[in-house]
């Protein structure tokens, strides 16, 4: 099997996607093809044995073969304008943030009939927007923290301090701030509004227990990862998450009782449901007074959360063989022909 790693995108998390893509070389044994989407949304075929972060920061990638996306896959031009299709079986969407997690790349892959590992359009839209995620979780009886949405025009917050402020449509803890005193509020809002025109405000709970679990559905069964208790300071800030995107070393199982362990997995299964079929997702949960609360859904977790799985390579290949199939619609113009016949026209 040959897999195409699609990464980059026009996103605040562009550089994180590059780190994630490079990390996958260490954990996937089958042949890999690297397809880079730059900040201008142009695609390039990156030589697998020459990929490194400097290639992108220096602009060296611009010397690589430029690609076009059309029916069936990616194509490169050869001599005399002849196009050649890039050879791969399944693409992996590892674009973080905008373009990769908001549904744009999923739409393109679906439209052009490209098989891919990653969230489909609806899963992308719901998990990319933190408000939609909350509403989705509540509809499934999954607990979420209290919250409110604040806009540039209405910056009033009614939740008592301390609170945590997050851009509504962004990940990797970019733009996130903790407000403990009233005089810190305006600055934290200003930072968050640099990245989005709406922000989510939640209670900030000091030293809250947090647990991460990843998984995917293969056939009728969900393959669960290890449950990890991430190490953090006040919260998982950008620096800690940035390092996580390059992780390949396996983690240790969190020390939790059987009831919480079972509850976390049960909530993950509810959230994965049928909405995220075809994707490896990671869900982050809080445990407060022995109750499990969803923190967020990561539809494209850093380096696909490979470090949470005992046998990640087999998981990715099993998922690639069990992707959801798109129903083929037969357009036969029967309705128009029937109308024309009724009118006595050929």
Q: What is the per-residue pLDDT across 155-175, written as a single tens digit (0 to 9) for each? A: 899 999 999 999 999 876 788
Q: Which fold has domain 2-117?
A: Rossmann fold (3.40.50)
Largest CA distance in the chain: 78
- Does 126-144+206-320 match 2-117 at the fold level? no
Q: Please report, for the chain, the start and end positions of each structural domain, with discontinuous segments joined by +.
A: 2-117, 126-144+206-320, 148-203
Tens digit of each residue's pLDDT (9 = 90 or more) over 194-220: 999 999 999 999 889 999 999 999 999
pLDDT number for residue 10 = 95
Give per-residue pLDDT as tens, 27-62.
999 999 999 999 999 999 999 999 999 999 999 999
210: enclosing H helix or E strand = strand 209-218
Question: What is the gyration radius of the CA atoms in the chain, in angstroms?
Answer: 22
Rounded CA-CA distance 188/261 in Å is 35
Our separate counts of H helices and E strands in the chain read: 10, 17
Q: Does 3.40.190.10 match the CATH number of domain 126-144+206-320? A: no
Sheet holding 2-8, edge to edge: 83-85, 73-77, 65-70, 43-46, 31-37, 2-8, 90-93, 116-117
pLDDT above 70 for 243: no
Answer yes or no: CATH 3.30.1490.20 is held by domain 148-203: yes
Closest CA to 211 of 276, 132, 167, 267: 267
How far is residue 186 CA from its own chain's centroid? 30
Q: What global pTM score does this model have?
A: 0.90
CB atoms within 10 A of CB 154: 8
> Does residue 240 register a pLDDT over 80?
no
Please tell me what DSSP assigns to residue 184.
Answer: G
Q: How confident is the model at residue 172, as a pLDDT?
A: 67
């Amino acid at each position: 099997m040959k897999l195409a790693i699609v990464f980059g995108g026009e996103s605040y998390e562009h550089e994180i996607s590059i780190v994630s893509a490079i990390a996958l070389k260490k954990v996937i044994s089958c042949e890999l093809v690297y397809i880079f989407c730059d900040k201008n949304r142009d695609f390039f075929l990156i030589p697998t044995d020459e990929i490194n972060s400097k290639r992108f920061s220096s602009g060296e990638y611009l010397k690589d073969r430029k690609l076009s996306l059309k029916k069936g896959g990616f194509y490169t031009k050869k001599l005399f304008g002849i196009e050649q299709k890039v050879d791969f079986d399944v693409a992996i969407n590892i674009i973080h943030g905008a373009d990769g997690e908001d549904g744009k790349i999923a739409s393109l892959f679906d439209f052009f009939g490209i098989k891919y590992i990653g969230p489909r359009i609806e899963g992308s839209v719901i998990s990319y927007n933190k408000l939609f995620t909350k509403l989705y979780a509540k509809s499934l009886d999954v607990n979420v923290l209290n919250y409110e949405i604040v806009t540039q025009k209405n910056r009033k917050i009614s939740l008592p301090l301390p609170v945590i402020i997050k851009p509504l449509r962004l990940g990797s803890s970019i733009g996130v701030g903790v407000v403990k005193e009233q005089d810190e509020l305006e600055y934290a809002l200003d930072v968050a509004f640099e990245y989005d025109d709406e922000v989510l405000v939640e209670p900030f709970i000091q030293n809250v227990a947090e647990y991460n679990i990843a998984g995917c559905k293969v056939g009728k069964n969900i393959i669960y990862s290890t449950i990890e208790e991430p190490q953090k300071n006040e919260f998982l800030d950008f620096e800690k998450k940035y390092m996580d995107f390059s992780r390949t070393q396996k983690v240790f199982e969190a020390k939790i009782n059987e009831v919480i362990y079972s509850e976390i997995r049960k909530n993950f299964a509810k959230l994965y449901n049928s909405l995220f079929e075809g994707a490896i997702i990671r869900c982050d949960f809080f445990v407060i007074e022995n109750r499990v609360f969803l923190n967020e859904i990561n539809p494209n977790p850093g380096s696909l959360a490979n470090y949470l799985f005992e046998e990640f390579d087999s998981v990715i290949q099993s998922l690639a063989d069990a992707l959801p199939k798109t129903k083929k619609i037969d357009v036969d113009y029967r309705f128009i022909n029937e109308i024309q016949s009724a009118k006595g026209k050929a």
